Amino acid sequence: MSSLRRFRQRRNFRAGAGGNGGGRQKHGKNGESVVLEVPVGTLVTQKTSVEDGGRLADLEKAGEKVVVVRGGRGGLGNIHFKSSINQAPRIAQSGEAGAENEIILEMRLIADVGIIGYPNAGKSTLLAAASAARPKIASYPFTTLEPVLGMVEVGVKGFVMAEIPGLIEKAHLGRGLGHDFLRHSLRTKILIHLVDGSEERPVANMRQVNAELALFDSALIQKPQLVVVNKIDLPPVAARMEELEGEFGSAGTALHFISAETGQGVRELMAVAMAMLTRLAVRQEAVTSVSRKVFRPQPRDGVGNVWKDGEVYVVEVAGMARLITPGGVATSEVTWHLKKQLERLGVRKTLEKAGIKPGDKVRCGNIELEW
């Protein structure tokens, strides 16, 4: 998929139901799974969770999968309850209900280099000049309503470059579609900060854009930046190149000069970006640690809870509440099996500590029996 638009129209998805078992030890068929196809770079987050940000998966590579909702386990037929002293059991276990979950799907583009800057700085023009991408180009703000990707070739190597539009004052608060665009810059390795050389206060514009990055996510301002002054094909900008170099130099920033319109300096800029990416890759490979597997044991089935509801002792044991019999009647066989399981799981001692006496009522699921 190339976008998440299909999920605007449809929000609810349900997997298929499983089938009932049959005679001659036949189990019921499994329910059909529902697979949602999403674009590469989709972040999957659990809506109701705050632990670890509720992140379930970051699907950065094609073919990656994550299970966000699991179906219920199937039940057990009467053959499971057969024993040497109970050759023809008339008891079974129903299947579990499937789980439900609310998730958030967020798309973040996979790009090596992101072009940032104020509207009309020439980001679309630079992307078109450096790659085969053909973004919409015009003289009014917000020409680009979606980030555009392009493949840049530098010799035998190449990298993916994305135009990140929508950076204006208060973009971190969502102004000017800021949230829609800023998140795409999170995956980039380096940023090309494009400055309009014809603006009156280019240094102030650069600082404002960087402030928006930092306010949206502090990790963005830590990314390496190439600060580039555009539009040197215009005589007024060409005349003030030395002045601009001094202004940015006093701010501790080295400059690159290009004309995205004519292509002047673009090839050299892409070579610098490629060299920076190569250095970052070598550094990252040197510090990459061996990933550790994290095991998260699930609670064991069979751990029972006991409480009193009026005059009835209520027992909650995984699986026991799903016992079924013909007609729903708690026969002596069910009573015997239930007591046996409670004994095996140690629930009998818990009931005795709770003060149960012979003749008291015990309820497990829909089955009620006399102790």
CA distances from 256 to 109, 230, 241 (A): 26, 9, 10
Tell me, yes or no, whether 295 lies in a domain: no
Q: Are residues 125 and 257 in the same domain?
A: yes
Nearest to 55 by CA among 112, 103, 91, 3: 103
Q: Are residues 156 and 262 in the same domain?
A: yes
Q: Are residues 101 and 130 in the same domain?
A: no
With 0-12 / 13-18 / 19 or more C-beta atoms within 10 angstroms meaning exposed / middle / buried, residue 168 is middle
Q: Are residues 183 and 273 in the same domain?
A: yes
- What does the alpha-carbon distance between residue 192 and residue 204 come to, in Å, rounded to a whole number? 17
Q: Are residues 230 and 120 in the same domain?
A: yes
Tell me, yes or no, whether 327 lies in a domain: yes
What is the predicted pLDDT for the residue at 254?
87
Tell me, yes or no, whether 332 lies in a domain: yes
Eight-class DSSP state of 5: T
Q: Are residues 42 and 182 in the same domain?
A: no
Q: Are residues 159 and 252 in the same domain?
A: yes
Domain span at residue 340 reads 305-370
Burial 203-238 (b: 16+ CB within 10 A, else e): bebbeebbebbebbeeebeebebbbbbbbbeeeebe
- What does the alpha-carbon distance between residue 108 and residue 94 come to, in Å, rounded to a whole number? 43
Mean pLDDT by runs of 10 across the 371 residues of the chain is: 80 88 80 88 78 74 88 79 73 79 81 85 89 64 62 88 69 48 76 91 87 81 91 93 89 89 93 92 66 62 72 78 57 70 77 86 78 80
What is the predicted pLDDT for the residue at 177?
47
Q: Are residues 90 and 152 in the same domain?
A: no
Q: Are residues 255 and 125 in the same domain?
A: yes
